[in-house]
Amino acid sequence: MIRIRLDVIMAERKMSLNELSEKVGITPANLSILKNEKGKAIRFSTLDALCKALDCQPGDLLEYKEE
């Protein structure tokens, strides 16, 4: 299972969902889906925008856990 650690990175950067939404150009609702791990996929363009806005690497946002 691949998990998105968006909530952890946002907390480390002290960034709100609305602030990140404005920087990335994604609605707060869609970011919330990612943050709460309800999404089934993520586009590379979205991952790229998140990494730029959060100043991190893709590996910081994604984590693999065996079920």
Residue 4 bridge partners (DSSP): 62
Read off the pLDDT of each residue in 34-57 and give the average, rounded to a whole number: 95
Instruction: Give me the pLDDT at residue 67, please.
Output: 78
Domain housing 60? 2-64
Report the CATH number that the domain containing residue 45 is assigned in CATH. 1.10.260.40
Q: How many domains does the chain have?
A: 1
Percent of the chain scoring above 70 in pLDDT: 100
Residue 64, φ and ψ in degrees, nearest 5: -100, 130
